[in-house]
Amino acid sequence: MDAALLGPQVVDEPGTIVELTGRRAEPARPDLTVVVPSYHDGAAIRENLDRLRRALDSTGLEWEVVLVVDGDVDTYREALPCRGPRVRVLGYDSNRGKGFALRYGISQARGELVTFIDSDMEIAPEEIGRMARLLDLYDADVVVGSKRHPLSEVEYPRLRRLQSLGYQLLIRALFRVRVRDTQTGLKLMRREVAERVLDVALVKRFAFDLELLAIAWCFGFRRIIEAPVRIDYRFASTTNLRSVFWVLVDTLAIFYRLRLRRTYTRRSRQGMLALLSTLPATLGPD
């Protein structure tokens, strides 16, 4: 790996105001932070971020994007030119999984609202504005993008639908979360919810979406509503067996911690410290 990319390095955060006296003033807090976990996107990350920026500009909100590159140096290099006052590019040199990247990105969020979306933008980012309006209209804690919403525009094979339905039935049997689709990678929540969940979340890879909603429900954030999504991707195959296995393992582990050990309610504000203590070397600008 290029040694110049290794850190950590201390640089002024994009968007931070440096006064003439040399003192750093606190940047204004945006309305919305969008956390984007990225892995193996390569040069496509630039076009995807451009589309996200256009979608966010149309919301009428003050926004910031926190891109977290999950151990992929090539994608990190491609993303660096996208940095600006409202786009931060963060990364580290070892792949830790989507759940870890999301937790790390959310820990860096400054917005009053926090959302996350997959970096391929296969889930239309134009829906973020509608989700923010729904959260405000219904005074919700969390808005979940749902493939099963009647207004969603999604095409995927029947077998994949059956797999998804089977998993959601399992979740409804194990948890009390009243959501028909926990796994679509677009969710928006109040900052209070994101911070409370982040403190105790443990899943780093396959079932972070479910863990987030299960913890939120456990802590009394039960105003969870579903919103329609548009997904452009046509699934070419079913989920591989290895991924299915680990999703089930993570799901059962969440149930064990939530219902039997009650781990989440016993943990304090040590969650973020534990996360940062396992963080590999961070990537820095060339």
State the CATH number of the domain containing residue 87. 3.90.550.10
What is the pLDDT, as a whole number, of residue 225? 96
User: Mean pLDDT across the chain, nearest whole number?
Assistant: 83
Residue 253 inside a domain? The answer is yes
Residue 20 inside a domain? The answer is yes
Percent of the chain's residues with pLDDT above 70? 81
Residue 176 inside a domain? The answer is yes
- Evaluated on CA atoms 108, 114, 118, 122, the torsion sign reads negative
Residue 284 inside a domain? The answer is no
Per-residue pLDDT of 228-284, as tens digits, reads: 999 876 544 445 678 788 889 999 999 999 988 888 887 654 555 556 566 666 676
What is the pLDDT, as a whole number, of residue 271? 55
Confidence of residue 42 (pLDDT cuts 50, 70, 90): very high
Residue 4 inside a domain? The answer is no
What is the average pLDDT across 3-21?
A: 35
What is the pLDDT, as a whole number, of residue 27? 61
Residue 283 inside a domain? The answer is no
Domain assignment of residue 252, given as a range: 10-277
Residues near 256 by Cβ (< 8 Å), separated by ≥ 6?
none
- Structurally, the chain folds into a number of domains equal to 1
Supply 45's token pair: 């990350």
Residue 164 and residue 69: Cα distance in Å, rounded? 27
Percent of the chain's residues with pLDDT above 90? 54
Residue 200 inside a domain? The answer is yes
- Model pTM score: 0.82
